[in-house]
Amino acid sequence: MHFGLDLRPALLKPTGVGRYAVSLASRLPARAPDDRFTFFSSSFKDRFPPLDLPPNAVLVDRRWPVKLLNLAWNRLGWPPLDTLVGESLDLIHSPHPLIVPGRRAKHIVTIHDLFFLKHPELTSAEIRRDYAPLVAEHVRRADAVICVSEYTAGEAQLMLEVPRDKIGVIPNGVDPAFREKVADEDIERLLKKRRLPRGALLYVGSDEKRKNLVNLAIAFLGLARRRRSSTPPLILVGPGSHWARVEPGRARIYATPHLPPDELRALMASATALILPSLEEGFGLPVVEAMAAGLPVICSRGSALEEVAGDAATLVNPLDTGSIADGIERLVDDSDLAAEQRQRGIKRSAAYDWDASAGATLAFYRRVLAA
């Protein structure tokens, strides 16, 4: 069989969807040596970095502008991916919920979350223009749907009326780098390179509104001002530098760009805890990566975060800055709680593995083709 997978979400920023696509692409071909895999990227000016692929896989990189191709695919269902890659495809997998068109191929889409349907005002213009009005039709036309959590599967059934037998729940995994020990000299090298402090609280993600960074900043600064003892600094990994803030003698917020997995792992090894107070997540990769790294986690109650973290995290109300501040303070001041969460997190993270996710995805491909 010949499978196609759209890798464009991984072209520039290592967001959750992009890391999902690349993690599958790097594992699927080795699991099916008798099948063929074509991975696709396209941009007018940006080129996809080289991939180390086995003989049964190829990356096709075209010079079609991203916005133009999105418009043609999402609104017109043209051109088929088969034409762009010069091959006939049996199944095309889109790592997001809008179909990548093909000639005769079966289609699978992945739904990571449906927050954009509930709160379009908190999403980008592109999401409001394309995803919100089109997702129901595209999901209906798809032959099958992958959801990355039971929470997201329930949302798809409720909001998009997707039959349960059309859904495959396949959780994300953890990059093996997060399970590895980090030498202290590597930690020091990273902290010096990025000019970051040791023992910080970490946030990892974008600055989109659903990530709730305003409430996080309010909670953190308020906590630092009222505490007699010192509060660890806060490092925001991903958002722009405009989020940085320094209050002499009280609180410091640092902001860095997205970091590669090895640097992020070293930063986690130096940190006190990870905090992810999102209004909603369909999975929450930073949570499982932090748990795998042995880093205590503070995250939002509800959505998929509670499903993924289970009893291995301190859960807070993302709408209540007092709850966020209390969660931080409890973990910072209680070393026994922090140690317990480290052990629980390491154990729980073992359930999330990209090799297992790739195997389940390939089995789902075969099920769809056989239907």
Domains in the chain, CATH or no CATH each:
2-173+353-370 (3.40.50.2000), 176-349 (3.40.50.2000)
What is the model's pLDDT at position 249? 67
Grouping H, G, I as helix, E, B as strand and the rest as coil, residue 256 is strand
Helix (H) / strand (E) containing 149: none
Q: Name the residue among 109, 117, 111, 114 with its Cα closest to residue 303.
A: 114
Alpha carbons 284 and 86: distance in angstroms, whole number: 36
Residue numbers in the chain where pLDDT is lower than 50: none
148 Cβ partners below 8 Å, 6+ apart? 20, 110, 111, 112, 169, 170, 171, 172, 282, 283, 304
- Look up the pTM and report it: 0.96
227-268 confidence digits (pLDDT tens): 888 899 999 999 988 899 887 767 899 999 999 999 999 999
What is the model's pLDDT at position 228? 80
39-52 confidence digits (pLDDT tens): 999 999 999 998 99
Tokens representing 309 are: 């973290």
What is the model's pLDDT at position 363? 98
What is the model's pLDDT at position 12? 82
